[in-house]
Structure 1
Amino acid sequence: MFSIYKNKWSWLFLTSLKGISQVVLIANAFSGFIILIAITIASYSLGIITLLSSLIGTLISKLGGAEEEKINQGLFGYNSVLTGMALFLFLQGDERWFIALAGSAIAALFTAALMHFFRQTDIPILTFPFIVITWLWLLTTYRLVTFKLSPKLTPQSLSNWTLNIKGENDWLEGAVNGIGQIFFLDHTLSGILLFIAVFWAGRRLGVYAVIGNIAALLTSYSLGGEHSLIFMGLYGYNAILTILAVSIVFKGDSRHALITGIIAACLTVPITASVVTWLLPYGLPVLTMPFVLCTWIFLGARKVLPKI
C-alpha cells in the first residue's frame, strides 16, 4: 500500500517538474528541477508558488480525465506555473497567495478549453491561456478592492510618454537576463542555471536559445531600443521562446527552420515594442504575447508555405 502511494506522489512530482520545464517548451523533469532551483534562488516564495501552481495544474488535468500522454508531458502545468508566478509578483497584499493559486487553477481549465478549440487548426495554444487569465485578473484591481495592483504596474499616458534610450551597455547581463525574464527573474545565477536546464534537455535547444537571445539583443539595439530594457532581457525572452518553437519544437518538415526561427526571433522585438505601447495606458505587462503572436504567424504561414 505504501509503495502505491509513493509511486503516485513520485509521478505527481515528476510530472509537475515537466510542467515547469514546458514553460521553455521542454518535457524534461530534471530540467524542470534545475529551473525550480533557479527560481527559488532568486525568490524562495516564488519557488513555492511555482511548484504549487504546477501541482495544481497537473492535479486538475488528472482528476478531470485528460489524455494521459498530454498530462505526462506536463502540458497542463506550464500555463498554471506562469499564471501563478505573474499574479504573485504583480499583485500585493496577503491575499495574493490565494489569488495566485486560484489563478493557476483557472489557467488549467482555460488551457483545456483552448486545446479543444484549437485541435482542428493543428496550431499550439502556447502560453495564450496564461496571458489572458493574467491580464483579466490584473484588470480587476480597478473594480474590486480585494485585488491590489503592485506599484510596479502603473498606467501611463501616451501623450506624456518620452523615449529615453540612454544607459549603460552591459552585454553580458543582457545575455543572461534574456532567459531569466521568461520566469520574471533578474538574477545572474538564476539565468545561468536556466541556460543549463535548457542545454541539459538538448544541446541543440541550448544553442538555439543562445542564438535567439543574441538576435533579440542585436535587433533591439540596432533599432534604438531603451538600453535599460534591452540589457534587463525584456526584449530577449520572447525571442528565445519563439526560436525554440519555430525552429525545433514545431518545425515540421521545414528545410529552413533555423533561418525562419531567427527571423521570427528578430520580429519579436518590434512586436514587443508595439504591445508594450498598447498596454501602457492600462499598466499591464507584455508577458509572452509577442512570442505567441510571432509563433502563430510563422506556424500558420507554414500551413500554406511548408518549406519556410
Structure 2
Amino acid sequence: MQIDKRIILREGTLSSLISVTFKGISQVILIENAVTGFIILIAIMLSSISLGSIVFLSAVMATLIGRFGGADKTIINQGLLGYNPVLAGIALFLNLEGGLRWVFALAGAAVATLFTAAMMHLMRNTKIPVLTFPYIILTWFLFLASYQLEMFQLSPSLVPQDLSHWLLHPGGTMDWIHGLVNGIGQVYFQDRLWSGILILFGVFWADWKLGLYAVIGSFVALLTAYGLGAEVSLLNSGLYGFNAVLTILAVGAVFSTKNILVPVTGIIASVLTVLITAGVDTWLVPYGLPTLTMPFVLCTWLFLAARKVLPRI
C-alpha cells in the first residue's frame, strides 16, 4: 500500500515535525536529509543516551520555535533553524556540571534558535550563510559567565592557562584510522570509533560525494597538522580534523560554484583551516575556552566572500 508523502509530511503533523527535527541534526554537517539525521542521532546515542536526548530535544525545540514564531517555511523545513541549537545543547551539556546542566543546555538551545534567526536577518544582504557563528558566540559567553554567576558550574577541563608556561607535547604514536574517523565524529563532539563510522555512513547515505569530501578533509587535516608538528594526542582525537571537514564540505560542495577548480579550492581551504585552528586555540587558551567551530566559520566566510570578487576560485 503506497501512501502519499505529501499527506504524511504535511506541516503540523507529527511526521513532519520528526522529519524536520532530523534535518536540523543533519544540517550540523551541512546536509539536508532526515535519514542522515536519524543515523547521526543513533551514532550519538551509542556514545551517550543522555547526550542523544539533548540533541533530539534541542532540534525539536528549534523546529517548534520556528513554527510558532512564524518563520519562513522553507527555512524551517530545511532544518536551518536546528543545527545551531543542536550544537549549543551538546556543548553546554558536555562542558557544564551540576544538576541544572540539562536545563542550561536546553535553554541555551532555545536561545541559539533566536540568535540564529537574528543573524540570518543581519546577514541576509551579504548572501553569506551564518553557519555556526550563533552557537559559537552564545556558548563562549555562557562559559565566560560561569566566572561571575555561581549557578553555572564549568567543567574543570576548561581551565585558563598562561601562554608563557604553555608546553607542546608532540610525541606519541599516531593512530591514522582513529584520527581520520574522529575528525569526522568530532563535528558532533564524538571521539568513539563506531560513532564516527556511523556518522560517516550517514554522510555517505546522503551523497557519496559529500562522504568522499568528508574523508578527504579529515585526511588532509591530519596530514597537514602532523607535518607541522601538532600534538599527536589532539590528532588522534580528531580535534584538528572536524573544522577542516566542515570547511571542505562548505567550500568544495555545499556552497561551491561550478568551476572545475572548486575541489582544489576546498582542499586548500581545509589546509588553511588547520592553521586557523592552531591560532584560534592559542588565542583562547588564556580564557579557558574551546575552539569549537570558529576556524570553520572564519575560513569558509573568507572563501565565500572572496568568491564575490573572484568567482572562479
**TM-score normalised to the size of structure 1?**
0.97
1:109-161 CA-to-partner distances (Å, cap 9, x unmatched) read 00000000111000000000010110011111000000000011111111111
Partner of 1:239: 244
Measure, in 2, the Cα distance between the counterparts of 1:237 and 1:4: 32
Counterparts of 1:1-308 in structure 2, within 5 Å, are 8-308=13-313
Q: What is the alpha-carbon distance in structure 2 between the residues aligned to residue 51 and residue 125 of structure 1?
A: 22
> Do the aligned partners of 1:253 and 1:306 also contact (CA within 8 Å) in 2?
no
Runs of 4+ displaced beyond 3 Å: 3-7
Gaps of 5+ in 1: none
Cα gap change, 1:302/1:102 in structure 2, threshold over 3 Å: closer, same or farther?
same
8 Å Cα contact 2:9/2:15 also seen in 1? no
**RMSD across aligned C-alpha pairs, in angstroms?**
1.4
Distance 1:127 1:42 in 2: 23
Percent sequence identity is 59
Unpaired segments ≥5 residues, structure 2 = 1-7
- CA distance in 2: counterparts of 1:195 and 1:6, whole angstroms: 30
TM-score normalized with structure 2 length: 0.96
Contact 2:10 2:16 (8 Å CA) reproduced: no
Please tell me the residue identity of whatever aligns with 1:199: F
| Count of matched residue pairs | 306
Secondary structure at 1:142's aligned position in 2?
coil
Residue 252 (structure 1) shift = 2.5
Deviation at 1:164, TM superposition (A): 1.1
Following superposition, the deviation at residue 7 of structure 1 comes to: 6.2
Over 3 Å counting, the alpha-carbon distance change for 1:95 and 1:274 in structure 2 is: same
What one-letter code is carried by the residue in structure 2 that aligns with 1:198? V
CA distance in structure 2 between the partners assigned to 1:60 and 1:252 by the alignment: 33
